[in-house]
A and B are shown apart, each in its own frame.
Chain A
Amino acid sequence: MLLAAASSVIAQRPMNTSICDYYTTALLKDNNATNQYTLLTLVVNTAVIGNYTKPNVGIAVPGILSPGIYNGTQVNLVGYFNGGLASSNTGGSMGVSKNFLDDGGASPLMMDKPANGTMSNQ
């Protein structure tokens, strides 16, 4: 990955610096639009599929696509992403089923891409 080596301890963010600006600089050095997008991609992809890249300061992320437990309750969100539930709003009066993992699933996410192609739901 394209990350500069980051220490595992990041100092407190100054109050007049946004989260986006601060962590883009801390992790990727240059605070430009490309790097801000990269930072978001890393965080979002990790949130979706779990840890897959560096740096990782030692926090395990199961990911939104993994079943888990929250406050003692079993949770499984995968049906909202693979079309299992009629949970998408395409403008009608009822939810419809859409598979948002129809273009590579986790594999392109692990390469910091949203999907293999550009024309899919994913």
Chain B
Amino acid sequence: MGLDAMQMGYFIQQVGLAAASFGVTDDDVMAVGTTLTNAFDKRCAAATSIPPTADPALQAICIASNCPLADNATCSAYGNATMPAVANATLAGNSTTSGGSGSSGSGSGSSSDSGGSGSGSRSSSGSGSSSGSSTASGSSSSSTSSSDAVRNYGSVVAIVGAAALAFAL
């Protein structure tokens, strides 16, 4: 998975909202969101062990140029990570992004949040930062390999792992 700041922001926001819906306090929702942001939402993040018992691996899922740059960024390690290609346009819908401008592809996606039975919703205070675009540090590698984070994040099981990380702190 290679995403941009808006997609990652939405993803982290949903995790925060889910936690909040069970009564998790604002402070703890923010802690979960911050953990996910720091672990997966910083472009070129250096290899990290997630969980601590694992080997270090490249964890950044936010790879587009509008993703905030990690401290100790190691962009060359990610090679020329690219946004994923469309395999099935019908299934992909408007999931594709331009990769740099932070806007999703054109489409007829719904423009309002649906679902839930709560009386009003509030945005999670733990969502990752996404305003402004960070300076792009172009990679000179011509490799097309994706980051290790794709392997870690390509399934619901891996998402459980990420949430477990956030909750274990």
Query: Which residues of A does B touch, CB under 8 Å?
Result: 6-10, 12-13, 18-20, 22-23, 26-27, 39-44, 46-48, 50-51, 55-64, 66-71, 73-91, 93-100, 114, 121-122
Total interface residues on B, using CB and 8 Å? Answer: 78
CB distance from B9 to the nearest CB of A (A): 5
Complex: A110 Cα to B29 Cα, angstroms: 23
Interface residues of B in 69-94 (CB under 8 A from A): 84-94
A71 touches B130 (CB 8 A): yes
Interface residues of B in 107-121 (CB under 8 A from A): 107, 109-121
Contact residue among B6, B27, B103, B113 (Cβ-Cβ distance under 8 Å from A66): B113
Q: Which residues from A are CB-within-8-Å of B122?
A: 59
Beyond A42-B22, A73-B102, A88-B150, whether A122 also contacts B156 by CB under 8 A is yes
Q: Which residues from A are CB-within-8-Å of B167?
A: 18-20, 23, 39-40, 43
Contact residue among B22, B86, B143 (Cβ-Cβ distance under 8 Å from A27): B22
A67 touches B94 (CB 8 A): yes
A74 touches B109 (CB 8 A): yes
Q: Which residues from B are CB-within-8-Å of A121?
A: 155
Task: Tell which of B12-20, B37-45, B48-56 binds the partner.
Answer: B12-20
Complex: A66 Cα to B115 Cα, angstroms: 9
Complex: A47 Cα to B144 Cα, angstroms: 31
Task: Write the chain A residue with the least CB distance to B104.
Answer: A74
Complex: A103 Cα to B21 Cα, angstroms: 26
Residue B31 at the chain A interface, CB threshold 8 Å: yes
Complex: A85 Cα to B23 Cα, angstroms: 34
B104 touches A75 (CB 8 A): yes
CB distance from A19 to the nearest CB of B (A): 5
A100 touches B154 (CB 8 A): yes
Beyond A40-B167, A47-B18, A55-B23, whether A97 also contacts B115 by CB under 8 A is no
Task: Write the chain A residue with the least CB distance to B121.
Answer: A60
Could you list 17 A-B pairs, sorted by A, with CB under 8 Å?
Answer: A43-B15, A47-B163, A58-B119, A60-B115, A61-B14, A69-B112, A74-B111, A76-B93, A78-B92, A83-B88, A83-B91, A85-B85, A85-B87, A85-B95, A94-B85, A94-B144, A100-B155
B21 touches A6 (CB 8 A): no
A69 touches B160 (CB 8 A): no
A44 touches B160 (CB 8 A): yes
Q: Which residues from A are CB-within-8-Å of B169?
A: 18-19
Contact residue among A12, A26, A84, A95 (Cβ-Cβ distance under 8 Å from B93): A84
A93 touches B145 (CB 8 A): yes
CB distance from B93 to the nearest CB of A (A): 6
A86 touches B87 (CB 8 A): yes
